[in-house]
Amino acid sequence: MILIVNNHDHNAGKIGARLKALGQSHIIKDADSLLQGKDLKGIKGIILTGGPLMLDKPLKLSSIRADIASILDFKVPVLGICLGYEIMAEILGSEVERLHIPSKSPKQKVRILKKEYLFEGFPDTIEVFESHSLYMKNLPPFLEITASSSKDTIESIRHKQKPLFGVQFHPEESGEISEKLFSNFIEICNGK
Residues assigned a catalytic role: 82, 170, 172
Sequence-separated (6 or more) residues with CB below 8 Å from residue 167: 79, 80, 81, 82, 85, 118, 147, 155, 156, 181
Which strand (E) or helix (H) includes residue 176?
Answer: helix 176-189
DSSP for 56-76, please give it. T-HHHHHHHHHHHHHHHTS-S
Identify the burial level of 164 via C-beta atoms within 10 angstroms of its C-beta, where 0-12 means exposed, 13-18 middle and 19 or more buried. buried
Sequence-separated (6 or more) residues with CB below 8 Å from residue 166: 79, 80, 81, 84, 85, 86, 88, 89, 156, 157, 158
The Cβ-side half-sphere exposure at 145, using a 13 Å CA radius, reads 15
